[in-house]
Amino acid sequence: MSIVYFRHTPDRSKIGGYFDEDDGHIYINGRASKVRQSLIIAHESQHKKCFDTKCKCWNSRNVYWCEYHAFRAELKYVAKKDKVRLWQAYFRSVINDLRKFQSKETAYPQHFQALVKVCRLRLFGLYAQKYGNIFAIATAVKRIKL
């Protein structure tokens, strides 16, 4: 797996990373913190895995399932490491993403729905109670009920 780090460019200024199926590389925002980069790598690695294994979600271009797999991969990565700092960064990321995906400027309804589904997983709830601010997560988006 090849990871390429980039700095802010006009067209990529608001993203943390992406997987490019044309060249097979994962591109990561070099200005993100190391902890945030590890979350982005987990997320984008799952996209690459779906592409490489010809997963139905990737081949059908079903954004919801592609993002669900990637957000779930982030959760599993963080659960496997089980470090307080990583969990705190993860929960901050979830709250920010929920807000961003629902905002009028950057509406990503399939991303939002996929992340909400991950927030409802038992694994997420267990660690949210242990490490996160469950109230902040639950109120980040009014429509979400944890």
What pTM, to 2 d.p., does this model score?
0.85
Query: Quick one: pLDDT at residue 146?
Result: 43
For residue 110, what pLDDT is reported? 87
Q: What separation in angstroms does the CA of 123 have from each of 93, 117, 135?
A: 17, 12, 17
pLDDT in tens, 106-133: 667 888 889 989 988 999 988 888 886 6
Question: Is 13's pLDDT higher than 60?
Answer: no
As a whole number, mean pLDDT of residues 95-114 equals: 80
**Which own/partner pairs from 104-107 qualify as long-range (CB within 8 Å, at least 24 positions apart)?**
106/14
The residues, any chain, with a CB within 8 Å of residue 37's CB and separated by 6 or more, are 16, 17, 28, 29
Q: In what order do the strands lie in the sheet with 2-6?
A: 2-6, 25-29, 17-20
Average pLDDT over residues 25-35: 91
DSSP 15: -
- Note the pLDDT of residue 145: 47
- Residue 139 or residue 126, greater confidence: 126
Q: Is 71 helix (H, G, I), strand (E, B) or coil?
A: helix
pLDDT of residue 138: 61
| pLDDT range class, residue 142, cuts 50, 70, 90 | low
Q: Where are the alpha helices (DSSP H) in 1-146?
A: 34-52, 56-59, 63-81, 84-102, 109-119, 122-131, 134-140
What's the whole-number mean pLDDT along residues 43-63? 91
Instruction: Give the per-residue pLDDT at 50.
Output: 94
Quote the crossing angle between the two packed helices 63-81 and 122-131, to the nearest 10°. 50
